[in-house]
Amino acid sequence: MSKVAVALWDQDAWDEHNYFEPAEGHPLIRADVKRTLHGDIEGTSEAILLCCRPDAKSAGYVANEHVAATIAGRRGTFVLQHVAAMGGETPHRLGFIVPNSGTGELAGLRGSCTFGHDEQGRNTLRLDYDLD
């Protein structure tokens, strides 16, 4: 990828409920999430995360996230798909921009995404991307 964009994000909403409660094992959780992005990516996002949280130190999720934002002065929308598993020494993360999901001036946006934390513990989103 030829460009990098990094944003800090604020959690505006997190509404979760169990969507599956097995007789044995851990419940499965759906979280409806809204965020505001600041930095190289300016805008908002809405996501659905499907999660499992076996204990206070372990979790995994898969997500679809719709982003309406400006990147490098170009405005549009796009969709991220991302997944993570935490609970060992190193979290496992994977994410990408859904191919051909970009609209407006972000049509043609492609690449990968990573959600994490910076040195101050703030929430971050990093895109490694190309844009026609």
- pLDDT for the residue 6: 97
Could you tell me which of 88, 69, 76 has the C-alpha nearest to residue 7? 69
Mean pLDDT of 38-51: 98
Q: For the segment 60-101, what is each residue's pLDDT rounded down to a tens digit?
A: 999 999 999 999 999 999 999 999 999 978 889 999 999 999
**Residue 36 banded pLDDT, cuts 50, 70, 90:** very high
Q: How many beta carbons lie within 10 A of that of residue 22, not counting itself? A: 8
Cβ pair 95, 125 in contact under 8 A: no
| Angle CA 5–87–16, to nearest 5 | 75
* Phi, psi of 9, rounded to the nearest 5 degrees: -135, 145
Options 2.40.350.10, 3.40.50.2300, 3.40.50.300, 3.40.50.720; CATH for 3-130 is 2.40.350.10
What's the pLDDT at 129?
A: 98
Question: What number of CA atoms fall less than 13 Å from residue 12's CA on the CB side?
Answer: 12
> Where along the chain do its domains lie?
3-130
Q: Which residue has the tokens 């990094």?
A: 6
pLDDT at residue 91 in the model: 86
pLDDT grade, residue 118 (50/70/90)? Answer: confident
Strand residues in 21-118 grouped as ranges (E): 28-39, 41-55, 58-71, 74-86, 92-97, 110-117
By DSSP bridging, strand 92-97 and strand 28-39 are: unpaired
pTM: 0.93
1 pLDDT more than 80: no
